[in-house]
Amino acid sequence: MRVFLFSLQSAIKNLWLEKWINILTMLTIAVGLLILGSFVLVTLNMDSMLKRWSDGFGLVIYLEENLSTEEEDLLKEYFQKDPDVIEAKYVSKDSALGEFRKTLGTMTSILDGFEKNPLPSSFELKLEREALDPVIIKKKALQIIQLNGVEDVQYGEKWLSSLNTMTKGMKIIVVLLGGIIFIAIAFSTYSTIKILFYRRIDEIGTLKLLGATRGFIRLPFLFEGLFIGTSGGLAGFLGLLAIYYFTTSRIIEFMPAIKGMMIFFPPETYIAAPLAGAVMSLIGSIFAIGKIRY
Amino acid sequence: MIQFSGVSKYYEDNVALKDVSFSVEKGDMVFVTGPSGAGKTTLLKLIYRSERPDEGNIIVADWDVGELRQKTIPYLRRNVGIVFQDFRLLNNRTVFENIALALRIHGLHPKEIKEDVADVLKDVDLKHKAHSFPQHLSGGEQQRVVIARAMVSRPTVLLADEPTGNLDSDTSTIIMRLFREINARGTTVLVATHHTELFSGTGRRLIHLKEGKIIKETVG
């Protein structure tokens, strides 16, 4: 415990003595995490907007003509039992025609040529978000079309596919960028601690001769790395927060409709940036000190 | 306390020590002398395991020095105080902090550290310089700080490598008096020097080295 406290004191003293190189490293980490945080935030907002759009997304199942009420009920029961289905709404022929008339507005006269209602009755299925995957949904559509009384199944296949590709693309970018930035943070701290280690090589030599253990020699450097990483992460997070509020306030000025739609990270994740900075810097510091030989 | 048995050390093709055997009893004060390049510094380095013998065995206070594992070396060194010609003081720390460092390594309580450092500073007559930085001290004062640092953790063995190398004769006398006092308290002292005036007339045992070999043992 005493060695721990002494190492902490030494680390604070050394952080102050070498403040400029430490501040520079801290800022490098802050900028790295700020860039990564910005990408994650954009992805988060895209995902949130996609979720809003996909709330209205589902399958439309067109039924055969002259289906009995019992057959329609059987189908409804089948859909309601499906765990991927949130809601199964029945749309009768008359309702469908009414909706179509509303859509046509003043051009309803084009329907006058039909002797009877040309639109089929249907079910509109609202699906769970997890089920909105092109593969899952295609499989489900193929199963449904085999059912008795089902004429056709339609869904926005291309649209859904594009949405998924976009979201997945952003997620891949975030993962790749995250990997690069994490390595950059570790390398940045590695370089700084290596420099500090060599600047204190005489002191380390004296400590070794006085009987200092490897832990005693390493600990102040690890504390320094930890502090640099944590403070860099914190500075990056605060920078991101400032940029977010500044940007959203400017966007809302021009696009008031977007108010309330943009989101920031939930409070429970605020620790992520300082933690990421701390962990990666600690890894960099451990590699920088390397193996101490007597 | 210190036992060398057939110890040899080579640096590539150069012989630093060849088949050296001697022993130093607990509480003795022994001088190792010889011209530059005789192997005095190598001999001391082997004792505190800064170097490893290529042949032979070295026992220091029951430690088989040649067989020590890396992680055990610090514990040997805590039993061996070392005084260097070039001092090796930390210039960004005060006299007090330099001496206290040896005790912090041992994990002592701050109160004990304060008391022990004050005591040892009194012994070397530098209490008034406790808060000075090494670069503001004379060579003799710096050497006394080094001796204080080596002694504060009460090691069983004290090694000194040319301790008066850069000092005038008056200061050298003070340094040697300190070594005698330390030895009188029971610490085994081994001093490597080529300054004959340090040991002549002392009645202490002298080990003469030349080209890495013990050529004779005499009394000063």
Please report the pLDDT score of residue A25 as a whole number.
94
Count of structural domains, chain A: 2
Does B1 share its domain with B73? Answer: yes
Does B53 share its domain with B160? Answer: yes
Does A178 share its domain with A41? Answer: yes
Please report the pLDDT score of residue A3 as a whole number.
81
Average pLDDT over residues B133-148: 94
Check pLDDT > 70 for residue B168: yes
Does A40 share its domain with A166? Answer: yes
**A210 touches B at CB < 8 Å:** yes
* Residue B22 belongs to a domain: yes
Does B32 share its domain with B11? Answer: yes
Does B19 share its domain with B72? Answer: yes
Helix (H, G, I), strand (E, B) or coil at B177: helix
Alpha-carbon span B26 to A277, nearest angstrom: 54
Query: Which residues from chain B sit within 8 angstroms of residue A202, using beta carbons?
Result: 88, 90
Domain ranges, residue A151: 58-155
Last residue of a domain, one of A155, A170, A185: A155
Average pLDDT over residues B171-178: 89
Does B74 share its domain with B161? Answer: yes
pLDDT band at A56, cuts 50/70/90? low
pLDDT band at B149, cuts 50/70/90? very high
Averaged pLDDT of chain A:
88
Does B58 share its domain with B160? Answer: yes
Does A144 share its domain with A181? Answer: no
- What Cα–Cα distance (Å) separates residue B109 from each residue in A222, A223, B103? 23, 21, 9
Please report the pLDDT score of residue A99 as a whole number.
83
* Residue A283 belongs to a domain: yes
Provide the CATH number for the domain around residue B17.
3.40.50.300
Please report the pLDDT score of residue B83 as a whole number.
94
Does A64 share its domain with A43? Answer: no
pLDDT tens track for B24-76: 999 999 999 999 889 999 999 999 999 999 999 999 998 999 999 999 999 99
Instruction: Please judge whether A6 and B104 are an interchain contact, meaning their C-beta atoms are less than 8 angstroms apart.
Output: yes
Please report the pLDDT score of residue A214 as a whole number.
93
Strands across the sheet with A58-63, in order?
A: A85-91, A122-127, A58-63, A150-154
Instruction: Please judge whether A294 and B70 are an interchain contact, meaning their C-beta atoms are less than 8 angstroms apart.
Output: yes
Does A166 share its domain with A270? Answer: yes
Does B95 share its domain with B108? Answer: yes
Instruction: Please judge whether B110 and A2 are an interchain contact, meaning their C-beta atoms are less than 8 angstroms apart.
Output: yes
Does B198 share its domain with B127? Answer: no
Cα nearest neighbour of A200 on chain B: B90
Please report the pLDDT score of residue B13 as a whole number.
84
Last residue of a domain, one of A98, A125, A155: A155
Does A69 share its domain with A13? Answer: no
Instruction: Please judge whether B77 and A206 are an interchain contact, meaning their C-beta atoms are less than 8 angstroms apart.
Output: no
* Residue A274 belongs to a domain: yes
Asked whether B99 and B121 are in contact (CB, 8 A), the reply is yes
Check pLDDT > 80 for residue A259: no
Check pLDDT > 70 for residue A53: no
pLDDT band at A55, cuts 50/70/90? low
Does B12 share its domain with B55? Answer: yes
pLDDT band at A54, cuts 50/70/90? low
Does B144 share its domain with B183? Answer: no
* Residue B127 belongs to a domain: yes
Does B190 share its domain with B141? Answer: no
Say how many C-beta atoms besides its own lie within 10 A of residue B2's C-beta. 23
Average pLDDT over residues A285-291: 92
* Residue B192 belongs to a domain: yes
- pTM for this entry: 0.73
Check pLDDT > 80 for residue A174: yes
Please report the pLDDT score of residue A170 as a whole number.
83
Question: Taking CB atoms and an 8 Å cut-off, how many pairs form between chains A and B?
Answer: 55
Which range (A96-110, A169-183, B129-143, B156-170) has the least confidence?
A96-110
Check pLDDT > 70 for residue B212: yes
ipTM for the predicted complex: 0.90
Does A142 share its domain with A282? Answer: no
Count of structural domains, chain B: 2
Domain ranges, residue B145: 91-154
Last residue of a domain, one of A120, A155, A190: A155
Does B99 share its domain with B206? Answer: no
Does A124 share its domain with A198? Answer: no
The DSSP result for A190-252, as a single string, is HHHHHHHHHHTHHHHHHHHHTT--HHHHHHHHHHHHHHHHHHHHHHHHHHHHHHHHHHHHHHH
